Structure 1
């Protein structure tokens, strides 16, 4: 039998809407992404409304995942609200590690949330985390540089196109790099991108017998392409660059192209945050041999650990932070271009948002097109596009991410990195009982 993550936590959740003491303090663990920084900035509005104090723990993505996973699996009770994603939520919901969020009130308007986004965070008909923003991935590019070089980005670029464009626009003497891609190791950092690359090169993580496929020709071709691309046309020190670092490079004008999360579009297009707001255009995520899994599907969401003793107050905060009213607050105070994307129909029906965010339709189409049930061209026993929806993947993805980063930094070859990764994943899958 497969191993479980840990014993089920004891639930002890107060009912939403009961009386809450004014002096109550919630501890919120979240990621240091730009949208969450805005949430913290606007959170005094929540305190004014409720009298509830907020203690923020803002962490880099890899650290956040380690801290939250450890706390929730050991019943630590450090956090009342946690920022988790489309990977953790269904797994932790099944383990009874999270409080169900089906009691946020009629005004919450669950039906306004896009169904595919709700489905990412739902187990047996119950929502276990409320989406703060949702995303797929696509291609950001500098239209001014393309025009100057006489290049035209197709609506659906191929990786052959991307390599050609990167070579033409790579001018490191001018601090202009042909392309920026995630290189920082982590299952949600470099492997989020590399996973989609492997998909579109025709590869898969596991065959139908759960045997790892990391030494397959498709993995070798995809990872070789990735390493060569960043070594030849990327910025120096790419293994230190995750989503936030690359967003800073692109918004500062140092990247001709960037393939990453659609959620960053509002920040790249915001002149208060970006030097290239009026010079950036967007295209679909590139494809190689197949279209399956070229663009990922993800939601960052807010959940309540069952170990929290302040569930009622925590649910009140989540209802506020993921509501239509919160999105309006962001739009009116930070600019509509900065509104959290991808979650609510009302956002994409709002003429102010559509006027401020010309990328809105492209982003929405990418999110709705992502199909975690068909992530690869070959049959697979798992769901998930840039991750595999099994408990063991968090450790597996971290291990493989380290191996890929070692190849990128020149510490090992692609072949050696993939063989090391294959051996490690095989051990994990045998120990967990997937492989007999």
Structure 2
């Protein structure tokens, strides 16, 4: 059936406008963002309407996953060019590896107002290859020792400017009160290269050990690793919570917020949540110390980790322009201001922009601000004479993800008592040696 319509000039113009609007509506874009179920990301998801209002025609679909599962999903998707995600939440481990494999799109459409020069230099450097930014930092972190000031006072303890692991052990013993549900120390135990190995790799470095020596030989049977894992298992067995081998970052965040941990050594990003009265039962009793050291030269060594949960665009995405608009919004100074208005300055994503640490409103609202930026600035993940790789809690080589996950299972077995520390480290050495030989690093 055909219909003939005669239109006056004005009517024709109106029809043209209507057709144009209709075509624009049909060209709406949906981008899929894969992210981790950490509190800052959950908050970002809750603020999506602000982005969609400012970018009509772009709709955001969220896939929010537990950390280990997210890592598996995004790695599989990008390696197979699966196209499931338009924006991926990844970190300082993946970016240099994936960018060199041409898996990531350079972020060159963030807009003139983005102010890339405001990014903290060490964070920007960690997310760049040949001066091109391949992921924009949503929040960045190092390591802090979070502790209960009230429990320390009761035990006659004072947190040193630079705590040692000997002091941490003493404090764990004196503050533990398991009969009343208070554990002297809470540490990561859930297996995974970014869960327990993120913590344990850093702890081993605090005892002078690395994942690999200068010739890429695995070092899990070294004195430093043995000292670190022996102390870790001893502390958690005596003074830690039950079932610690199942506890990752989020589980320990919950325990500390419930007032059940006298100390928790972990990512500095936790500080804003444990001091938030809406999320913590002990918000006014939290103190902030540096990462512990296990060797005499540790105070000046920069052995605390550096990490940034960041947003990147896989090269295979067919919606790169919309994806980069989203990333620009989520990692901008304007987003920081939005969170401050909605949630208060103490809850803005930390660690990415220099201007945040020059903002007196933030410094006044966040008692952990100075400790966080000091930890980030003192972290030194660059290769050294005794380690040939970038990273402290990880080694930035493709093989590390598999090695770290398998070794993490061995460390969890030692923590749960299923195997001894020596057996776990021996198995870790064998696993790493096999994979590094397959990778051609060693013969």
Query: Does residue 302 of the first structure (1) align with residue 308 of the second (2)?
Result: no
Cα distance in 2 between the residues matched to 1:191 and 1:308: 31
How far 1:86 sits from its partner (Å)? 0.4
Q: Distance in 1 between matches of 2:116 and 2:310?
A: 14
Tell whether 2:318 aligns with 1:313.
Answer: no
- Counterparts of 2:135 and 2:387 in 1: how far apart (Å)? 26
Give the distance between the partners of 2:172 and 2:336, measured in 1 at CA.
Answer: 36
**Offset at residue 374 of structure 1 (A):** 5.2
Matches within 5 A, 1:16-35: 23-35=28-40
Q: What SS does the aligned partner of 2:437 have? A: helix
Q: 1:61 aligns with which of 44, 63, 67?
A: 67
> Which segments of 5 or more consecutive residues in structure 2 lack a partner in the other structure?
1-23
Q: Match of 1:161, SS?
A: helix
Hey, what does 1:3 align to over in structure 2? none
2:26 paired with 1:48: no
Mapped to 2, the partners of 1:216 and 1:116 lie a distance apart of 30
Q: Give the one of 414, 423, 430 matched to 1:416.
A: 423
The DSSP-based 3-state class of the residue aligned with 1:236 is coil
Q: CA deviation at 1:103?
A: 2.6
CA RMSD of aligned residues (A): 1.3
TM-aligned CA distance change 1:426 to 1:20, over 3 Å: farther
Of 138, 145, 154, 1:139 maps to 145
Distance across 1 between alignment mates of 2:102 and 2:381: 23
Q: Residue 300 of structure 1 aligns to a residue in which SS?
A: strand
In 2, the alpha carbon distance for the partners of 1:389 and 1:21 equals: 43
Cα gap change, 1:311/1:419 in structure 2, threshold over 3 Å: closer, same or farther? same
2:198 partner SS: helix
1:215-230 paired onto structure 2 within 5 Å: 215-230=221-236
Q: Deviations over 1:229-268 (max 9, x none)?
A: 1111100000110001001100110000000000111111
- Normalising by structure 2, report the TM-score: 0.92
For 2:388, the equivalent position in structure 1 comes to 381
Q: How does 1:176-195 map to 2 (within 5 A)?
A: 176-195=182-201
In 2, Cα distance between equivalents of 1:294 and 1:210: 20
> Structure 1 residue 39 and structure 2 residue 44: aligned?
yes
Gaps of 5+ in 1: 1-18
- Which residue of 2 is the match for residue 87 of structure 1? 93
Whether the 8 Å contact between 1:215 and 1:419 is mirrored in structure 2 is: yes
* Cα distance in 2, alignment partners of residues 237 and 406 from structure 1: 12
Structure 2 residue aligned with 1:361: 370
User: Please, what TM-score do these two structures have when normalized by structure 1?
Assistant: 0.94
**Aligned positions of 1:231-380 closer than 5 A:** 231-289=237-295, 290-291=297-298, 292=301, 294-373=303-382, 379-380=386-387
Matched, 1:425 2:413: no
User: 1:44, 1:253 → 2: CA distance?
Assistant: 34
